[in-house]
Amino acid sequence: MSVTVTGCELCETPGGEVLHQGAQFRVVLVDDASYPGFCRVIWRDHVKEMTDLPELDRMLLMDVLWQVEQVVRDVMQPEKINLASFGTMVPHLHWHVIPRYTDDPHFPAPVWASSQRPAQQASLQVRRERLDALRAKMRQRLATYL
């Protein structure tokens, strides 16, 4: 039985473009103009914390997170990957996988901090051109996760 909460953004919406839908989680591409390749791994049921999950579910979620990180690294070629699970604003278990570049608007600060510089349009265009490859490789990499 699926657990959902009325009013929860991640219970009521996909949270982005769905790249993979498994029985227990989904992986989405976030529509963020400054961060092409920004993905989320979202647990299906509404749970707040990793420790709310049974051990095998935690292991599954972390394995999927590592797979998503590797695909983002391989395709997007970032300087660094930021992994984050806050849930303060949306208390539904999810992880952010954010490719970071030395010329991105916030580097080296978190993407939620004040911008350090304007976005570099030429760099963004190159990154946007990689999104179709990211979609394809993510779907291929996660195909065995039911």
| CA end-to-end span of the chain | 17
Q: Where are the domains of the chain?
A: 9-142
* pTM reported for the whole predicted model: 0.95
Torsion sign over Cα 15, 18, 22, 23: positive
Which residue from 15, 55, 57 is spatially nearest to 32, judged by alpha carbons?
A: 15
Segment 13-35, tens digit of pLDDT: 999 999 999 999 999 999 999 99
Report pLDDT for 88.
Answer: 84
> Tell me: domain 9-142, CATH 3.30.479.30, correct?
no
Phi-psi domain of 16 (left: phi exceeds 0; alpha: psi -120 through 50; beta: other)? left
Phi then psi dihedrals of residue 82, to 5 deg: -105, 130
Are 27 and 15 spatial neighbours (Cβ–Cβ below 8 Å)? no
The count of other CB atoms within 10 Å of the CB of residue 137 is 17
pLDDT above 70: percentage of residues in the chain: 99
Average pLDDT over residues 3-10: 91
Segment 67-103, tens digit of pLDDT: 999 999 999 999 999 999 998 888 999 999 999 999 9
Report pLDDT for 87.
Answer: 82
Half-sphere exposure for 84 (CA within 13 Å, toward CB): 16
pLDDT exceeds 70 at position 1: no
Q: What contacts 122, CB < 8 A, 6 or more positions away? A: none
